Chain A
Amino acid sequence: MTTPAKKSPSVVEVSVTGAPRRGTAARLVGALGSGALRLLLITVALLWMVPLMGLLLVSLRSGADNTNSGWWTVLLKPTELTLANYQGLVQDGVVLRSFLNTVYISVPSTVLVVGIGAMAAYALVWLDFPGRDWIMVAVVGLLVLPVQAALIPISRLYGALGVFGSITGAILFHVAFGLPFAVFLLRDFFVGIPRDLLEAARMDGAREWRIFRKVVLPVSRPALASLAVFQFLWVWNDMLVALVLTSPDSAPLTVALRSDLRQFGTNVDVLASGALLSMLVPLLVFFVFQRHFVQGAFATSPR
């Protein structure tokens, strides 16, 4: 009895320092399992990439080639590849203008939603005023209001205000419909910021605006970054709102591409390059902000 009792501490030590011991067979099964899983994941990823790759290749072939054969033929005949579509795109005034329109609509819509949303959420969490909770209830209620239901009334309102068909009108609409989610998301995050942190700033001599700018905003960077990305992508990819509320002069890329489709029917090469152009910016935005997600997540552990 005494011998095993003496040995047992060393056994415990081994299991604490390393992974639990497994037999060769068990490891083999494990390796096979993870190999099969990896294979499955790679297959799914490839399948997922096929349409995107098709789009890319279509955009790199001439219109005639695209009409005559499928995009996959280029894999055997690389000589078909051409940048002519992109040249055409850059020289096409309508595409360029609508691309800029998209930027003019998306950037202010994002900045305003994040800015106003953060201020509203700060007030809803940290300032004490009558009706605060009811405002929050209203904000949550607005979350379920469908965009489609508002299009007609807003169009009429814009007509009366004289902003119908303008970029301003589109921005206002996106800001209004982006805010409830922004407030909801940021409020949730702000609630998690320790009250001590704000009180410390208050003791240090800060007023509300300083606390907001110097403490709450920097600490909330991951939440602000994810909100900005969501909002930007939503506005950038929007077609419905722009279709209803913008005029040809103020139409973003999505709307312009759609009208191209109607005019030329089978000009899939132009569309493909336009679509890729419109995808490029969100991808860039995502990769730029991704760094902030990660940084923020590490910097903000309160203790």
Chain B
Amino acid sequence: MAEIVIEGLGKVYLDGTRAVDDLSLEVQDGEFLVLVGPSGCGKTTALRMLAGLESVTEGTIRIGDRVVDDVPARDRDVAMVFQSYALYPHLNVYENIAFGLRLRKVPKAEIDRLVREVAEVLRLEEHLTRKPGNLSGGQRQRVAMGRAIVREPRAFLMDEPLSNLDAKLRVQVRAQIARIQRDLGVTTVYVTHDQTEAMTLGDRVAVMKRGVLQQVGPPQELYDRPDNLFVAAFVGSPGMNLMCVELTEDDGRFRVHIGDQTLDLPDALLHRRPALRAHANRKVIVGIRPEDMEDTGIVGAAEGATLTSVADLVEAMGSDVLVHFPLDASPVVTEDTRELARDAGADETLPAVDHGVVCVGRFSPRTHVFEGQTITVAVDTDRIHFFDPATGIAIDHS
């Protein structure tokens, strides 16, 4: 077990492509760090450099008290779980798990003890003699985990280990990975493009975009105080409602104008975001989380904290109801939002209305809103996020 320190890590491929740019991270001993970002953001490359499978172009990596930049993968004493599991197809489960131990010349009796111990933890006992080809997806995933665990490495590296499982199994295995990591207390770096996985698993989450680290912090911090538009849009599902609006000041009262509707900003918010004052009477990007909006039929709302629209689509999720409604504001279309939409594989998420923005509110299941109904939405104005439209950087969330 060891801490991992990455300083100024960079990767440039032979063809000149820059995959990772000046990445600096510190992973505490026993910490679970999740690297997350859309595909092609360099997270896997960074992980492979940690593993020693990819050479380091710039910067240094330290695992424990040893700089490992030039140490081959086999001597780094870290274990990796691959997206494809990469189980040896010609070996049975027992031999798959024992492979690394045999290479390390561990005595036979010891190997047997360790393999059976791990098999018990992962409930693989009755599958030990089977070949990977005869296992289900979940079982293969567990064998891959077993192969990593059995060596008691200084760190686990996991490259999207859940992406080949179906949705239900993914939730189960996710919990299992979290439990195992907690019990073993092994430093873990986990790569995923799924922000839900990142939020649920990570002690801390590092969001990357096009090779550059955007923000790193505990999941809730990323969610509540995103540093920039990209993190704001990436974290959370459904995503933050973003729109470009006018911020006005009138006799010390700050308002945002969404079409001909206005939201009054509370003093507490301005107090937390003093820099907002400098943006008065200019365009800003506001972000409102779906759960910060509620049906006024459920909660009361102060004046200047409501928006009126027509429910376009109502999705009952059971635990809550997602209500889509259009607002008369300009959509936020930046390179970031386009990239995120591309990554989600959804060109059709483009605004469903000719102009304006379709917002999603997460209403209480007790709501009676139906499609086509005119609704009044209460907005928790204290929790609105603000971003500079020029830079995409959050306006002061200290």
Contacts and interface: CB of A to CB of B under 8 A. Distances in A.
What is the predominant secondary structure among interface residues of chain B facing chain A? loop
Nearest to B100: A204
Contacts of B78: 203
B147 A204 contact: yes
Top 6 A-B residue pairs of the complex, sorted by shortest distance between their CB atoms: A204-B100, A196-B86, A200-B86, A218-B90, A205-B103, A205-B74
A203 B51 contact: yes
Please indicate which of the listed interface residues B83, B104, B133 has the most CB atoms of chain A within 10 Å of its own CB: B133
A291 interface: no
Nearest to B91: A218
Interface string A165-198: 0000000000000000000000000000010110
Interface string A200-229: 111111110010001100110100000000
B131 interface: yes
| Chain A contact patch, size range | 20 to 34
A285 interface: no
B198 interface: no
Contacts of B53: 199, 202-203
Interface residues of B, number: 28
Interface string B53-88: 100000000000000000011110011101111111
Nearest to A298: B133
A136 B159 CA distance: 33
A197 B73 contact: no
B74 A202 contact: yes
Contact of B73 (A196, A203, A218): A203
Nearest to A207: B74
Given A204-B99, A205-B103, A197 B74 contact: no
A300 B51 CA distance: 26
A263 interface: no
B89 interface: yes
A210 B103 contact: yes
A115 B85 CA distance: 29
B103 A200 contact: no
B84 A194 contact: yes
A201 B104 CA distance: 12
Given A218-B90, A299-B90, A301-B89, A204 B103 contact: yes
Contacts of B91: 218
Given A203-B73, A210-B103, A299 B79 contact: no
B86 A206 contact: no
A196 B82 contact: yes
Please indicate which of the listed interface residues A200, A207, A299, A300 has the most CB atoms of chain B within 10 Å of its own CB: A200
A303 interface: yes
A218 B79 CA distance: 23
Contact of B89 (A202, A203, A204, A299): A299
Given A205-B104, A218-B91, A302-B84, 17 more contacts: A196-B83, A197-B86, A197-B89, A199-B51, A199-B73, A199-B80, A199-B82, A200-B80, A200-B86, A200-B147, A203-B51, A203-B52, A203-B80, A205-B100, A206-B103, A218-B88, A303-B84
A200 B52 CA distance: 11
Contacts of A205: 74-75, 100, 103-104
